[in-house]
Chain A
Amino acid sequence: MSAEHVVSVRLYVVVWVTLLIFTGLTTGVAYIDLGVFNTVVALAIAVAKMLLVVLFFMHVKYTTGIPRVVMVAAIFWLAIMMSITLADELTRGWTPVAHAWGSGTLLPILPHLLR
């Protein structure tokens, strides 16, 4: 039978050390003022760490087919949920409806749109 790919101990240790270095790095960077890039760097390091765990510890580098599709689909659904939620949340102020509501006009939004 074709057994699952055996990852070498050396590679596991390299991944482990890299993850520990990244943890130190993300903690250290928090003490340096980078403005908004503090968050960007922290998230970039988190994504890099996630990829290391997923590819090597979870053997996705050696897994093919449907499990990979499921994983990518999960990330895609997550992206849909977050982007649609934010598309709503960040654009609520754009629509001048709420204060005109109940004014008796049939289409309270119209005067604002035509202004």
Chain B
Amino acid sequence: MAEMAQPSHGHDAHVPELVHQFETVEQQREAGTLGMWLFLATEILFFGGMFCSYLVYRSLHPHAFEIGSHLLEVKFGATNTAVLICSSLTMAMAIRSAQTGKSKRTIITYLVITILLGLTFIGVKLYFEWYHDYLEHIVPGFGFQYHADWGSSGPMVQMFMVFYFILTGIHALHMVIGVGILTVMIIMAARGRFSSHYFAPLDISGLYWHFVDIIWIFLFPLLYLIGGRYATGGH
């Protein structure tokens, strides 16, 4: 094997993060981005399957879904939407800081704010929403109680709550995973792994974080705002 020529690494051979199967750091970064988009395509179809069954049930039982939607508190849904949008800004700023060669302290600060906003979202969901739903007996499988004024819609109101808990539950699981990924990014940043030449892990984590934000952008109107709030005045 000794007579084989050494593979050329192109002009980026001095960048230690460049692995041997890629010619340039740019090519390596694009391959990583493509991989993440492929994963996000599977995620779109994973959530898409749930959105699709939601669509079928909502088209069959619009009245029950309206009753179910009005059991949720718009103020918490809207607050959490704003919290996630803010976390997307700080995530984008963390990547931009690495891109423009800012200090690792700056990158870490943006990542910590992003994580704190993510934890705020999960906290609001767990305590102000799910825990209170449990106290109000509207969690399917945990002492769900029909209200008299729901009439024959009762079972399908419960079905709406099943959709609500599965969709928001799997979304919250994605948030927890995102917080884990960003924690790894903070450790990498603290070890000085990122520079304006190399920030692909940060870039790809950002794609995931923004994707989870987009899922919530759709969940908010689809779960909280069915049929409008003008009739009941909301909560």
Q: Which residues of A contact B (CB under 8 A)?
A: 1-4, 6-7, 9, 12-13, 15-16, 19-20, 23-24, 26-27, 30-34, 38-39, 42-43, 45-46, 49-50, 53-54, 56-58, 63, 65-67, 70-71, 73-75, 77-78, 81-82, 85-86, 89-90
Contacts and interface: CB of A to CB of B under 8 A. Distances in A.
B135 interface: no
Contacts of A24: 78
Nearest to B74: A27
Contacts of A20: 82, 85
24 contacts: A7-B96, A16-B85, A19-B88, A23-B82, A23-B220, A30-B74, A31-B228, A31-B234, A42-B222, A43-B221, A46-B218, A50-B214, A50-B217, A50-B218, A57-B206, A57-B210, A65-B30, A66-B34, A71-B37, A78-B44, A78-B45, A82-B52, A85-B52, A86-B56
Interface in B155-187: none
Classify the secondary structure of A's interface with B: helix
Given A1-B26, A30-B74, A31-B230, A74 B86 contact: no
B98 to A, nearest CB: 10
Contacts of B220: 23, 26, 46
Given A31-B230, A32-B228, A78 B48 contact: yes
